[in-house]
Amino acid sequence: MALRPLLARECIVREALSVEFLKLRKSPVALITGMLIVLLIPAMSFGLVSVVEGSGSGLLAEKVRVLVTGTGWVALGGLLNQFAASAVFVGVSVVAVWCFGREFSDRTVGSLFALPTSRGTIAGAKLIVILCWSLLVSVLLVTVAAAIGVLGGLGRLDSTAFEELGTVILVAWLTSLLASTLSLPASIGRGYLPAIGVMVLILMTAQMAVLFEAGAWYPYASPGLWAVSSDQGDLVVGVAHLATVPVLAGVSSLLTVRWWQRFELV
Amino acid sequence: MNPIVTDGVSRAYGDELALDRLTIEVAPGEIHAIVGLNGAGKTTLMRILMGMIRPDSGRALLHGSDVIEVPGRTWADVGHMIESPFGYPELTVVENISAAAKLRGIPSGDVAAAADSVVKRFELGRWADRRARALSMGNRQRLGLACALVHTPGVIVLDEPSNSLDPAGVVLVRDLMRHEAAEGAAILVSSHHLDELARVAHRISVLHRGRLIGNIDPDGFDLERRFFELVHGAETSVGEGVHRA
């Protein structure tokens, strides 16, 4: 029996991307997580700015004032950055862990063998879809924050506002890159729980690194630290420190793709 | 060379030998059934053939290529369902089949027609727009088979394909295997249901403790008796070996 001609490599990659995109689009995990990030973070940030800039003499206002630097768009941007560095990390991690871990938990992984689309290609498609989704979520987060800021009386979108909101997109996306590294423990651990454990460990070690003033060189802490320190005019994180983030994400992605290419279904 | 060949394949899990120098072949147009007790090595054999696990020794070949380095073009001619049927719970029946078709290398322009054809073939039309999570076990099995065969492969490997199926589904799978074999497909199938296999298989091999211990004539009588004679004989020889040692 003659074999069918195989699709071109770029077509195989495109089809793998379309399948992974469909799975993510239909997933309640991605939808709920995205909605929480896009709606809750701007609402909470604006709410806290309002508390500080309002009458502001209560216990809550005193506590919030510790978190806020500046006023108006600067204050909103600072809070968005702080929330983005933690909440976006957790949110995108959950989606990344679901994307990879679900193949084992839902027992669909066996069907990804013996295909002309290699498992490495499928893993690469998953990573690309996760990063595109996180970029979309970051842009929507900032769009909603801008709308709330304008409607809430922070003034028009001037250069300060654009600079602050641009920083938020950058922090959110760097954080998303870091969260994508959870795909590796979700794969090696063959399910959700080991990767969730690693996520908790990362959050703890990032806190410790900042506490011991080693956060600049710890990729999981550096974007958040950069955002906070730049707001306070005390820049301790530079481009070299931030460059560790894409390097770590790149290495993790390569290892994940390689692992998917070679693992056995024992 | 036949489309499906294993040549002296062995595989152990720790101290336990799951396959012991197993050699089988499946010719084009042949339905080769593998039967055995639980843990006999049927699924391990199929997993090795589908590249899910690697053999410790020996070779598994598809269309003459070692499965460890088989080209994508060869995989495009393979359809399999081992253990769990393909089916993402959040996707509908048609979306799952379309996803399977895309991953199996069907050109995007032909995906809808291929999905439509296989939905009709597996009588899934009533549930075409239903999410997989809402399907009964039997219909999930039909969906898994539809996904495995959407690209009309020439090499088919099915592990217990009639699991969870109602009598109509069992007849459907039987007819489907006959049809695909008549079209030239090489089919390796495992099941616990000897009578069911005897209705479609050209050859029935008995696997026990990872070794082929004999064959059963599909046209013979009292297949269960023949099966247990082979298994009992193999157990007796193992026992004698232990006594001698």
Residues of A with Cβ-Cβ distance to B54 under 8 angstroms: 264
Task: Write the residue in B75, B85, B147 that is nearest to A114 by C-beta.
Answer: B75
Decide if B76 and A264 are in contact by the 8 Å CB cutoff: no
Collapsed DSSP state (helix, strand, coil) of residue A10: helix
Residue of B nearest to A16 (CA): B103
pLDDT at B176: 95
pLDDT at A11: 83
> Mind telling me how many Å the CA of B105 is from chain A's nearest CA?
6
Has residue B143 got a pLDDT over 90?
Answer: yes
What number is the ipTM of this complex? 0.91
**Using one digit for the tens of pLDDT, what is the confidence trace for B100-112?**
999 999 988 999 9
pLDDT at A231: 65
Decide if B90 and A112 are in contact by the 8 Å CB cutoff: no
Task: Write the residue in B51, B73, B99 that is nearest to A3 by C-beta.
Answer: B73
Has residue B10 got a pLDDT over 60?
Answer: yes
Contact between residue A92 and residue A131 where contact means Cβ atoms under 8 Å apart: no
For an interface test with A, give the residue of B1, B102, B130 to mutate (most A CBs within 10 A): B102
Q: What is the mean pLDDT of residues B196-217?
A: 94
pLDDT at B244: 55
Decide if B91 and A22 are in contact by the 8 Å CB cutoff: yes
Residue of B nearest to A6 (CA): B73
pLDDT at A232: 65
Residue of B nearest to A103 (CA): B88
Per residue, the 3-state secondary structure of chain B, as one string, reads CCCEEEEEEEEEECCEEEEEEEEEEECCCCEEEEECCCCCCHHHHHHHHCCCCCCCEEEEEECCEEHHHCCHHHHCCEEEECCCCCCCCCCEHHHHHHHHHHHCCCCHHHHHHHHHHHHHHCCCHHHCCCEHHHCCHHHHHHHHHHHHHCCCCCEEEEECCCCCCCHHHHHHHHHHHHHHHHCCCEEEEECCCHHHHHHHCCEEEEEECCEEEEEECCCCCCHHHHHHHHHHHHHHHHHHHHHHC
For an interface test with A, give the residue of B19, B88, B98, B111 to mutate (most A CBs within 10 A): B88
Residue of A nearest to B98 (CA): A19
In the stretch 107-126 of chain A, residues with CB closer than 8 A to chain B read 107-108, 110-118, 122
Is A21 an interface residue toward B (CB < 8 Å)?
A: no
Task: Write the residue in B13, B51, B87 that is nearest to A113 by C-beta.
Answer: B51
- The half-sphere exposure of B230 on its side-chain side, counting CA atoms within 13 A, is 22
pLDDT at A228: 79
Residues of B with Cβ-Cβ distance to A16 under 8 angstroms: 102-103
Positions in chain A whose pLDDT score sits under 50: none
A–B interface: beta-carbon pairs under 8 A: 112
Is A11 an interface residue toward B (CB < 8 Å)?
A: yes
* Mean of pLDDT over chain B: 93
pLDDT at A56: 60
For residue A84, the 8-state DSSP code is I
Residues of B with Cβ-Cβ distance to A3 under 8 angstroms: 63, 73-74, 76-77, 154
Is A26 an interface residue toward B (CB < 8 Å)?
A: yes
Decide if B13 and A28 are in contact by the 8 Å CB cutoff: no
Residue of B nearest to A112 (CA): B103
**Using one digit for the tens of pLDDT, what is the confidence trace for B73-90?**
899 999 999 978 889 999
pLDDT at A222: 92
Residues of A with Cβ-Cβ distance to B157 under 8 angstroms: 114
**Using one digit for the tens of pLDDT, what is the confidence trace for B156-179?**
999 999 988 999 999 999 999 999
Q: Which residue has the higher pLDDT, B134 or B235?
A: B134
- Percent share of chain B, pLDDT over 70: 97
Decide if B72 and A116 are in contact by the 8 Å CB cutoff: yes
**Using one digit for the tens of pLDDT, what is the confidence trace for B24-68?**
999 999 999 999 999 999 999 999 999 999 999 999 999 999 999
Residues of A with Cβ-Cβ distance to B107 under 8 angstroms: 7, 11
